[in-house]
Amino acid sequence: MDFWSRLQRIDRRWIYLVIWLVVMIPLIKPFPVRPVASPPVQQLFTYIDTMPENKALVISVDYSPDTQAELHPMTISLLRHAFATGHRVGIVATSPYGLGLGEDALRQVRHDFDSAATNHEDSIISGEDFAFWGWTTPFLTMMLGMGERIVNVFPVDYYGTPTESLPITRHIKNYDDVGILVSIAGSSTPIAWVAYAQTQFGLRIGCGTTAVSAADYYTYLNSGQFTGMLAGMRGAAEYEELTREKMVELGIGWTARNLGIEAMSSQTAAHLAIIGFIIIGNLGFFITRRRKS
């Protein structure tokens, strides 16, 4: 039996072992990846980057731990971008899961900025640079109520501080003070933000979603109802790269990890390995078939 015939009968467990190795090794020691931003990612980044300073970014943390690997890097990168460019940030959640995830993203980004801060202005201050309003139910009441007056929907913030007493409240009263709301979700929640916040109040909506859900949202993107979209790990990595370039442009030193870019090295290696297996398998099939004929 020659090489190609033996290859056709190889134990599939060896293939699983190779795939496991090419996935795990880049996760332990990532190799450099420089993703090029796709148009939906570039649109969202450009809009946030060029928003007037008096307009805030609101992030709706609408995902849960089962989609955290794909979506959490998006939240972290959006926070970095907003704080680096001096935009105020509001954070809400449409489920209790978003509270812990939003707090974790804030903790990471605040630590990175505060570690490099040399004065008060360089630090990220709760109640001044951001407001973590938290979660309330039902979410329809929240979406519509925030368009009228945010303090009526959230009398106290996530930390228990009266919202009216926060300095940032003078600048963010309702949707009129918000440049864009970005819903990071593994479900259809971004469509609800379009249906209620955008239709009723004209609020711009951006979207971050899992790769498997992205196809459902291109209709909203093409119609202009979404200002931009981050799709899956690739979308997170592309936004991270744009944010990294912006921070270099602003002269902000940065040593924090880019989790989306790191994960893309593993994903890229796995895809290349699978393509290689497909090519080798087809070569073996056609060569052995030709020899038999």
Q: What's the CA gap between 194 and 199, in Å, rounded?
A: 6
What's the pLDDT tens digit per position in 135-167? 998 889 999 999 999 999 999 999 999 999 999
Strands 205-209 and 178-185: parallel
Residue 263 falls within a domain, yes or no?
Answer: no
The CATH number covering residue 209 comes to: 3.40.50.1220
Name which of 264, 98, 114, 251 is nearest 184 in CA terms.
Answer: 98
Query: Looking at the structure, do residues 139 and 2 belong to the same domain, yes or no?
Result: no
- pTM (2 decimals)? 0.88
Residue 167 falls within a domain, yes or no?
Answer: yes
Q: What's the CA gap between 186 and 133, in Å, rounded?
A: 21
Residue 1 falls within a domain, yes or no?
Answer: yes
Q: What's the CA gap between 103 and 120, in Å, rounded?
A: 21
Residue 262 falls within a domain, yes or no?
Answer: no
Query: Looking at the structure, do residues 280 and 225 belong to the same domain, yes or no?
Result: no
pLDDT at 45: 97
Extract the tokens encoding 41.
């990612």
pLDDT at 254: 67
Query: Looking at the structure, do residues 190 and 233 belong to the same domain, yes or no?
Result: yes
Residue 264 falls within a domain, yes or no?
Answer: no
Query: Looking at the structure, do residues 191 and 89 belong to the same domain, yes or no?
Result: yes
Query: Looking at the structure, do residues 223 and 163 belong to the same domain, yes or no?
Result: yes
pLDDT at 51: 95
Q: What's the CA gap between 284 and 293, in Å, rounded?
A: 14
How does the average pLDDT of the chain come out, rounded? 90
The amino acid that residue 172 corresponds to is I
pLDDT at 65: 93
- Res 122 pLDDT > 60: yes
Report the pLDDT averaged over residues 262-281: 87
Residue 106 and residue 114 in contact, taking contact as beta carbons nearer than 8 Å:
no
pLDDT at 35: 87
Q: Containing domain of residue 159, as a range?
A: 34-256
What's the pLDDT tens digit per position in 181-237? 999 998 889 999 999 999 999 999 999 999 999 999 999 999 999 999 999 999 999
pLDDT at 147: 95
Query: Looking at the structure, do residues 39 and 25 belong to the same domain, yes or no?
Result: no
Report the pLDDT averaged over residues 30-49: 91
- Res 15 pLDDT > 80: yes
Can you list the alpha helix ranges (DSSP code H) found in 120-223? 139-148, 150-153, 189-193, 199-201, 214-223
Query: Looking at the structure, do residues 45 and 19 belong to the same domain, yes or no?
Result: no
Percent of the chain residues topping a pLDDT of 90: 64
Q: What's the CA gap between 35 and 236, in Å, rounded?
A: 10
